[in-house]
Amino acid sequence: MTAALARFVSNRLFWPLVMLVVLFLINVVAFPGFFTITMRDGNLYGSLIDILRNGAPTLIIAVGMTLVIATRGIDLSVGAVCAISGAVACSILLGASNPADPGVVAVAVLTAIAVGLVCGLWNGFLVSVLGIQPIIATLILMTAGRGIAMLITEGQILTVNSPPFKVLGAGFWFGIPVAVYIGAAVFLIAAALTRRSALGMLIESVGINPEASRQAGVRARVLLFAVYTFCALCAAVAGLILTANTMAADANNAGLFIELDAILAVVIGGTSLAGGRYSLTGTLIGALVIQTLVTTVYTVGIPPIATMVFKAAVVTIVCLLQSPTTNEAFRGFRRRLALRSGKGVAAA
């Protein structure tokens, strides 16, 4: 019994889950109707549904980010890629004679995704071919990307009116928000691709030691290209959802700070930024924790603007809990306890 408990506590997902449960409890206390899900016009509504729907873009980007971080990389440009993909989609819709035509919407969406693909290939090129540190390589697109997005929108906030496009961000299918389907699809595709094949293991091996894996016959360069491209693709999809939700492409503010939320989700989920090991389930929980935190701040009645302070607190607590120093201290404490109760040898 205690052994099973100890195994559960030492699981990577334990602390993120505890945090999620604590946040849920705070919500229920502050707002007893938190878990209620109501049916209106055949669509589901409720705080939980809101968390899933608003958390979808962060989750999508965080999934891509998890794979990048697993290769010991990082992608700072995702926010800028969001802005670019939104700008591309909106400018195509605005340029079309009938933005409500599903064909036009399909062209806009596919072009935006293709542009995301190009962004990802660019990042992949810098990291894997030129061998630039990932944080710096993606800093270039992060800096220039918003400029490019503004170039596409010509410095304006483009507002469009296209019901089929709006479905991506605010629509429902069978009562569940479309964004949730997209989030789930991205998550499942990533999980299936990396965990049902050896791909995940190869990604981890590149994260542990790129040179050694290359010599062992792993095509590190291709893998790096693949993860950065996938990450940018995720960012483009998230950008489309964000843009479709507001029906406006704002080059300056679309996806602002979303790279930080995504990295936060990955870190909360227990994936180490040092690379080599990752958990997509952890990232899913991490994204939920962040979105629930935002909702909690709203329901408890704290000014929403203070969310960032709470995010800072969460990052700090998670990092300190995961830090080797803390683990060492915990272990020493447990050993001392065991020694004191006279079972030192058995426990050690």
Query: Least distance in Å: CB of 309 to other proteins?
Result: 3
Query: Least distance in Å: CB of 65 to other proteins?
Result: 13
- C-beta closer to other proteins: residue 99 or 116: 116
- C-beta closer to other proteins: residue 114 or 140: 140
- C-beta closer to other proteins: residue 161 or 327: 327
Residues engaged in binding other proteins (CB under 8 A): 74, 126, 130-133, 135-137, 139-148, 150-151, 155, 251, 256, 260, 263-264, 267, 273-274, 303, 305-313, 315-316, 319-320, 323-326
- C-beta closer to other proteins: residue 198 or 317: 317
252, 90 Cβ separation under 8 angstroms: no
3-class SS of residue 105? helix
Query: Least distance in Å: CB of 76 to other proteins?
Result: 9
Residues 225, 184: Cα–Cα separation, whole Å: 24
DSSP 243-280: HHHHTEE-TTTTTTTHHHHHHHHHHHTT--TTSS---H
Half-sphere exposure of 226 (CA within 13 A, CB side): 16
- Alpha-carbon distances of 266 from 142, 272, 294, 315, rounded to whole Å: 19, 8, 17, 11
Query: Least distance in Å: CB of 272 to other proteins?
Result: 9
Q: Which two tokens stand for residue 184?
A: 């789930």
264, 283 Cβ separation under 8 angstroms: no
Q: Which two tokens stand for residue 223?
A: 């893998």
- C-beta closer to other proteins: residue 80 or 180: 80
Query: Which ranges of 131-198 would DSSP assign to H, the alpha helix?
Result: 134-153, 163-170, 178-195
What's the chain's Rg over C-alpha atoms? Answer: 22
Query: Least distance in Å: CB of 307 to other proteins?
Result: 7
Query: Least distance in Å: CB of 285 to other proteins?
Result: 18
- C-beta closer to other proteins: residue 57 or 145: 145
With residue 288 as reference, give the H or E element that holds it: helix 280-300
- C-beta closer to other proteins: residue 136 or 337: 136
Query: Least distance in Å: CB of 201 to other proteins?
Result: 24
